[in-house]
Amino acid sequence: MSVRSIIATGLLAAGAVASPQWGGGWGYPKTVTVTSDHTVYKTVTKTGSCSGSSVTSFSSSSSHSSSASTSASASKSGSSSGSSSASSSASSSTSTVATTTTTSASNTVPTTTLLATATGHPLDVAAKAAGKLWFGTAADIPGTGEAQDPYWAAEFNSTDFGEATPANIMKFVFTEPEPNVFNYTGAEQFLSFVEGTGKLVRCHNLIWQSELPTWITNPTVNWTNATLTAALRNHVTNLVEYFGDRCYSWDVVNEAFSDNPAGAYASNVWFDTIGPAYVVEAFDAATQAVKAKNLAVKLYYNDYNIEYLGNKSYAAQNLVTELKGRGIQIDGVGLESHFIAGETPDKASQMANMQAFINLGVDVAITELDVRLNLPPNATTEAQQVLDYYNSVAACVAVGDGCIGVTVWDFDDEYSWVPGTFPGQGYADLFLSNGPNEPLTRKAAYDGCLQALTGAPESA
């Protein structure tokens, strides 16, 4: 079924009852079997947990063969901001998707789940056929128990994903917990899980304002420009040289720019002590390490709210121009793309922004894609989520080789960062499960990504 069909009908053929209880798992028993040919046989039985709840059973099988709004993307530290980009909004006036109503003393909440119906062409296979290097995912290993979850691990190792990003374990607090004392144990656990699968690795990240050790944020002797610059360069040099070409690329600096005012440098220990030169110093140190070890690793700037043309995106473009003008290596820009359903930049807006970076002689990549919903989800908001995923991935496909790939920020709602950061929002990923160590089910958002990769038009 096409993206347009999802919007028009508000359903997928395998619609099923769902009633998520965010933060505490899903409040009903569910069994899902995924066969080797990606056929899903799903049985859902709901038992109400509140007084007055109904009890509903639903079984299904499925085979895996424009109105103006404001866009908001947010960093993993919980920041968000809006843009003036337009997004086609979904409507569902006539829907036959399966629903159930749970009634409590205070409210009545109908909920739905739209499931994927796509056949063939797993995501990474389709991405490579479209000329991309990968369709990938972030993984929080070690940290969340994902690696020990057999269903999560099986999907991670599937041909849906050809790239992996360490969500946390390569950040400063983990890799240099004490001055000039480097700890790569966790990072090696991540790499040992990934290496041998054929997946490329985007190493993330070298310098950021968050997840810093206390010796950086609260030093025993106040930093000076010279001493903090030396510590920054030492950290960057050691990590780039240690991991070498095991990394396809490094996010050298993450989220340097502010949302308020948009495009100014954000206040943090690096900027407040060194000034904007800290970004130049980080890229220069990485450049020198690449040259010293004769590495092929690529160097990226990564940020959110730079997915559409605006002051923050222009600031990132100016950074690319400045670094290139100084003869410092910068190979690409990462567009985080943490979006809200219905407030996501449309395809044309994302294409124009991507092309602006490509015109400067760098690649772009969608690096942390998810599309979160207000909870509970319903057929209309889920259909909008499908369209937003479609538009984002389709923009990458449409600009050609300059956009090298798409990475989702994990793929199972069970391990999503969103509900813990944005209370009342969630359901942001491509799969859902009944909890840790439970089978996964593809959501309709999966179809949106796949149709974009395979060139299926929105209007098909």
Residue 286 has φ and ψ, to the nearest 5°, of -65, -40
Write down the catalytic residue from 336, 368, 414, 438. 368
For 84-162, strand residue ranges (E) read 86-87, 100-103, 108-111, 134-139
Alpha-carbon distances of 442 from 107, 199, 262, rounded to whole Å = 29, 21, 36
Give which of 366, 356, 270, 273 is closest to 318, Cα–Cα: 356
Q: Could you tell me which residues are beta bridge partners of residue 340?
A: 372
Which alpha helices (H) appear in 100-159, and where do they start and end?
123-129, 150-156
What the block records as the tokens of 85 is 């980009």
| Residue among 28, 23, 24 nearest 53 (CA) | 28
Closest Cα to residue 371, out of 404, 392, 341, 414?
341
Phi, psi for 294 (deg, rounded to 5): 55, 50
368 flagged as catalytic: yes
Where would I find the beta strands (DSSP E) of 3-55?
30-34, 40-46
Inter-residue long-range contacts of 143-150, CB under 8 Å, 24+ positions, other chains counted = 143/167, 143/168, 143/169, 144/415, 145/436, 146/410, 146/415, 147/189, 147/193, 148/437, 149/436, 149/437, 150/437
Token pair of 55 as six digits:
């009890």
Number of C-beta neighbours around residue 405 at 10 A: 25
Per residue, the 3-state secondary structure of 261-277, as one string, reads CEEEECCCHHHHHHCCH
Give the residue numbers marked as catalytic.
368
